[in-house]
Amino acid sequence: MSDTVAFDAMRDALRGAERLLLVTHEHPDGDALGSLIGMHGVLTALGKDAVMFVAPEEFPLPYEYDWLEHHDIVTTVPADAAERTIVFLDCGSIDRNPADGVRCPGATLLNIDHHHDNTRFGTLNLVVEDASCTAEIVWTLAHALDVGLTRRVAEALYVGLITDTGRFMYENTGAPAHEMAAELIEAGVDVAFVYRRVYEGWPEPKLHLVARALSRTERFGDGRLTFAHLFADDFAQTAALDSHTEGIVDMLRSVDGTKVAGLARQHSGTAAGQWKVSLRASDDDIDVSAIARAGGGGGHRAAAGFTTALGPAELAAFLDEQIAAQQS
Contact 151, 158 (CB under 8 A): no
Q: According to CB under 5 A, which residues from 124 to 163 bind Mn ion?
A: 133-134
Query: At closest approach, how far in Å is the CB of 166 from ligand AMP?
Result: 11
Query: At closest approach, how far in Å is the CB of 15 from ligand AMP?
Result: 28
131 φ, ψ to 5°? Answer: -75, 140
- Which of 21, 124, 304, 319: binder of ligand AMP (CB under 6 A)? 304
Query: At closest approach, how far in Å is the CB of 96 from ligand AMP?
Result: 6
Segment lying near ligand AMP (by CB under 6 A), choices 45-53, 171-179, 197-205, 296-304: 296-304
Q: Is 34 in the site for ligand AMP (CB under 6 A)?
A: no
Q: Is 119 in the site for ligand AMP (CB under 6 A)?
A: no
Q: According to CB under 5 A, which residues from 15 to 74 bind Mn ion?
A: 29, 31-32
Q: Is 300 in the site for ligand AMP (CB under 6 A)?
A: yes
Distance CA 324, CA 307 (A): 21
Segment lying near Mn ion (by CB under 5 A), choices 75-83, 85-93, 136-144, 196-204: 85-93
Q: Does an H or E element contain 44, and which?
A: helix 30-45
DSSP 259-286: SEEEEEE--TTSPTT-EEEEEEESSTT-
Distance CA 291, CA 201 (A): 33
Q: Is 306 in the site for ligand AMP (CB under 6 A)?
A: yes
Distance CA 50, CA 87 (A): 10
* Binder of residue 303, out of ligand AMP, Mn ion, none (CB less than 5 to 8 A by kind): ligand AMP
Edge-to-edge strand order for the sheet containing 225-230?
Answer: 217-220, 225-230, 260-265, 275-281, 303-308, 298-299
Q: Which residues bind ligand AMP (CB under 6 A)?
A: 92, 96, 278, 297-300, 303-307
